[in-house]
Structure 1
Amino acid sequence: MTGADEGTRQGRRVATGGGGTPLPGPAAEAAVHQTIRVESGFGYGVVGADLHVFPDRGPVYLLGEHRSAAPAPDDTWLLHQPSRMLNARYRLVDFTGRERERTELAAWRDAPGPRLSATWLHGPGGHGKSRLADEFAAESAAAGWKVVTATHGPGAVLDPGRKNGADLRPDGARGMLLVVDYADRWPVSHLTWLFSNRLLTGSLPTRLLLLARSSTAWPAVRSALEDVMADTRDQELAPLGTPGGDPRARSAMFAAARDCFAARYGVPDPAVIAQPKDLERPEFGLVLAVHMAALVAVDAHVRGERAPDDLAGLSAYLLNRERRHWTRLWENRLEGLDFSTAPSDMNRVVFTPPSPGPCHRGTAALCSRGSAWSGPCGCSPTTALATRRRSRAPFSNRSTRTGSPRTSSPSASTGTA
């Protein structure tokens, strides 16, 4: 929980973190009363796991139970900017396909052998790693596994729907599955602390599913896992429709996405919306690209327009909708609202930063002059580029800072001002 509030949970007494021993006999089953009190700052508690907390920065990571059902966004809000429907966290598209990958993950989860085993599931952004992991987590929970998610602590926000905190005790589960998204963005030292958590040291079969965009960080992470005697494997998520896979994977995924998006638009018969002619082109190997094609096809159908067939055309179509949104905001300045950036200036702000990537302000100034910046306005490519550089600096400083986090007992809580 966050802010100046107090929460109470009931739980059984468990072993303390940092090497404590379990209480014997009936005392181990005795109910204890846990209270979290925060005067200011941040408070967070778990039952059945350790907390690793930097005294001046809060938790190194947050643990929570996996939730299959996400709050459904309002249709009006989504249609205001259709590209919002592509956000995987909203789970607007029913999961389909990836049968081979799901079978492989299930076989790894249920295989006999080492009690602790980890899989590094990697693939470029847009391949559908998060949705695949979410589906696998839901299937594992249905199969009797306790499923927990780990979110890197700096900048993480607690789910407001979890009002009772995180009770992570297995309580009769077949095993423990821990899912770590964006694992390649964690400092290895922080992952090392996670691997030492008492949550992973019980007698149950325990599986770690680590999601990443590449295998670059895997050797170092694998070395850290060897320190806790974990079995390790890596699994690359291939593009849709690759040789040996389902030849209808793209068409089936397009149809599923089209039908889900059409329901948001109120289209009664989505089957009349045809798929792009070139859906088998290499760029549509991305799940995100297929979802974009479905979204644009539905939106264009509703507007009586012709949907583009190639990925560049799909991106331009969605950006045109964004430009319309920027124009509406800019026009509202006449009503006294603080939107002073013209759409033509916003175009430059959006398109310039991706070209050079994060860089120093001097380089950003050269890039902005090269983009024929006409200013002045409320923002500029120079500011945007330099801000991207600055936004990454605090993370780097935190990850290289000396000192160790504190470990709290599994049934205790920690607050920092």
Structure 2
Amino acid sequence: MKKISVLTGTRAEYHLMYPVLKKIVEHPDLELDLIVTGAHLSAKYGNTYQAIEKDGIPISIKLPILKDDEEIVDMDRAIAECMLGCSKHFKDVKPDLLLVLGDRYELFGAVIPAINQHIPIAHIHGGETTEGAIDEAVRHSVTKCSYLHFTCCEPYRKRVIQLGESPDRVFNVGGLGVENILTQSLMTQEDLEKNLSFPLNNYSLVTFHPVTLEEGTAVQQVKEMLDAFLEVEDMNFIITKANADAGGNKINEVIDQYAEKYPQKFYTEFSLGMVRYLSAMKYAHLVIGNSSSGILEAPSFRVPTINIGDRQKGRIKCESIIDCNPNKKAILDAISKGLSSSFRDSIKTMESPYGNGTTSQQIIDIINKYLENGIDLKKKFYDIEFNLKGEK
């Protein structure tokens, strides 16, 4: 029996990882060691660890690293506390592999002690770029710390190889978000409306996070967005709140102010959970904000995405993505385009580049194979042939 440690710190990351976690639990030769930390354990961010428990996924340890009385999240302290907690935990349970997803700062807290304790690391969703966020540096750093790589499309696989990782350890397996869309039983629009007690005849789904490489822009940008929404007649907005990044609390305060003033216009919640969130996305007129879900998942529903600002700059985008600047006029223009019949007709036959719904099984099969055969952590840097522009 091989033990796989998995770290999760946010609702979005857990929802993506759910099919992988479920398959580990059900696998006869694998044992799940789930480390829950970050926003999951914060009342301010909805205590989303309860959703994990409700799903029946066993939690091995809870590592609180956030303080609900902090006005701005101290990411340095959070990483340090996560590192100390994971270091002790790994020494106690001695996992055969650590599996992590994405680009959250909490990953450093698990990856660094794993390296020091010679625990192989497998990384999901490497090779992507988000030029407006600190996540960019975290993601590529975790790539270099990892032995196995699971990317969501071929250009990202090539980018991981460009970082010096051997092609035989880098696998294009598609996106977990697409798998959830294709495999989960979603709610009807009528049932969702009853569940939320909010009118859903004409609505958009919204998530807006801080752009962590920009200083002091969060409040102004979210106000521009919400002011634009007030000018869109006959449309309501379901808003899932910002995550536990620096500036996230301030964004949520502004959202609460608008929701209190315009309760018929805005419905807000920290986390809808995977099924409600994907159901809300399915029936939405638009997906709006700067969350990766608008880039990776919304195209599978052929729902237009209004991508605001630079947070997702650099990602591969389908034809359904409309980029705009974070100001009221640009947002209104983008909404108008996204609602136009000509644009909606143009994406009706669009195909998502992010896989066919078999991602989690591919990941489990590859991990199990490598664990059975043994892993040599002495990686060689894989050099590629290339010519730089301007070189003589």
TM-score by length of 2: 0.31
- Of structures 1 and 2, the one with the larger relative CO (CA 8 A, separation 6+) is 1
Greater Rg, structure 1 or structure 2? Answer: 1
TM-score by length of 1: 0.29
